[in-house]
Amino acid sequence: MRSISILALALPLLPTTLALQSILLGGRAFPCDGDSQTWYAWFSDADTCSSGTDIGPRGFGFPSICSYEVTILGHSNITFTGCDPAEQGNGEPTGVDDGGAPALTCEVVDVVGTTCPSANPCGAGGVENTDFVEEFFVCS
């Protein structure tokens, strides 16, 4: 009986939301669009090619990754933080906020590439039917 009452007291102390899992952030290149590239984010335990989110254009003249609000696999209100405002279009995030609260810290990683089936194939075969995802940061 005593163990049940201790458990009942502890239940309100348990968090009501799950912690945000590690996020991988990189770029996704689209050969059919002249090798245009978008920011691309996915959870570390999910499939790189099918579970990620295309966030927005990447490169000089476009907004920094820190200016987007992101939804990954239904988890909304994710924002990358800590970018240098002078680094237009690229930026190097130092963290991730979840619903406005600091949640993860980001680190630069050696670039890892993955070839994925293209969401918009444009050719008879070969590179026209693949996209290329590169991982630049891990946020955990």
Which among 88, 67, 69 has a CA at the least distance from the CA of 78? 69
Q: What is the pLDDT of residue 104?
A: 96
Q: What is the pLDDT of residue 133?
A: 87
Q: What is the pLDDT of residue 127?
A: 60
Question: Three-state DSSP class for 95?
Answer: strand
Q: How far apart are CA 89 and CA 86, in angstroms?
A: 9
Q: Where are the domains of the chain?
A: 19-139
Phi-psi category of residue 82: left, alpha or beta, with phi > 0 → left and psi -120 to 50 → alpha: left
pLDDT along the chain (140 residues), means of 10: 43 47 89 77 91 86 87 93 77 92 93 81 67 89
